Amino acid sequence: MSEPRSSRIVRAVHGLRQTRPDPPFEIGLSESLKSSYDVAGLVELYGRFAMGEGPVDLLMRRCIWRAAARRCGHGLQVASGVGFKHLETFELGDGVFVGAQAYIQGRFDGTTVIGSHVWIGPQAYFDARDLVIEDYVGWGPGAKVLGSAHTGLPADVPIVQTDLEVKPVRIGAWADIGTNATVLPGVTIGRGAIVGAGAVVSRDVDPFAIVAGVPARFMRWREGTPDVTSALPQNMKTGQG
């Protein structure tokens, strides 16, 4: 009879990794690419290396992102099959990881900010027209941000022909977004909050709160965290704010 299985604790990998400065030749290559190609040319060039798994593919994806983005820190890792739109509006911190087949859809007049040491899981999707993700955020596989929606007005035309309303989405530092969760337009996730797997977040989440469900509801405060509730109004101390 086999022994019953039990959980085990292992050290974190991405969140504890020290970011080393990218070597000068990479910086130089990015600068050369930036001076030789316009944004459209860089996107076309990216396509040649988008699907590969080899070290050259990884290197070229990092260099092309640095050449095209508004700002790009050191240690960027872009896995295979990652797609994007309007990379020229991106600002990236140090040690960012973007998992395989993720897609980040910026907008020509938008802003996409991804802080340092952010980990983005495979197949994540970002409607990133006005998005800020602060430092040390974990983004689960398949989790999504919706940053805009059609107004649906007037009602006598197809909804897809009505105007888009863009609302900012803010993800506070240290937050953790569960697998396949969805954050709706205009929502702010507080610092250190946890969003459960599959949740649909339609309203703001307080710092260090745990929410889950569809729509997401307050479950409890994280155990052992700072007394963040002392400064909140009484109705918010129960998660009803």
Which positions ≥6 away from 211 have C-beta within 8 Å?
193, 194, 195, 196, 199, 201, 205, 217, 218, 219, 239
8 Å CB contact between 195 and 178 = yes
* pLDDT, position 12: 84
Nearest to 96 by CA among 165, 36, 19: 19
Question: Three-class SS of residue 200?
Answer: strand
Give start and end residues of each alpha helix (H) in 146-207.
none
* pLDDT of res. 15: 81
**Amino acid 121: pLDDT:** 97
pLDDT at residue 19, as a whole number: 87
Taking only the tens place, the pLDDT of each residue in 152-168 is 999 999 999 999 999 99
Cβ atoms within 10 Å, residue 168: 15
In this prediction, residue 13 carries a pLDDT of: 80
pTM for this prediction: 0.89
Segment (H or E) for 12: none
What φ, ψ does residue 225 adopt, rounded to 5°?
-95, 170
Write down the residue that tokens 């704010």 correspond to.
241
Q: Does residue 168 contact residue 131 with C-beta atoms inside 8 Å?
A: yes
- Which residue reads 């907008």 in tokens? 107
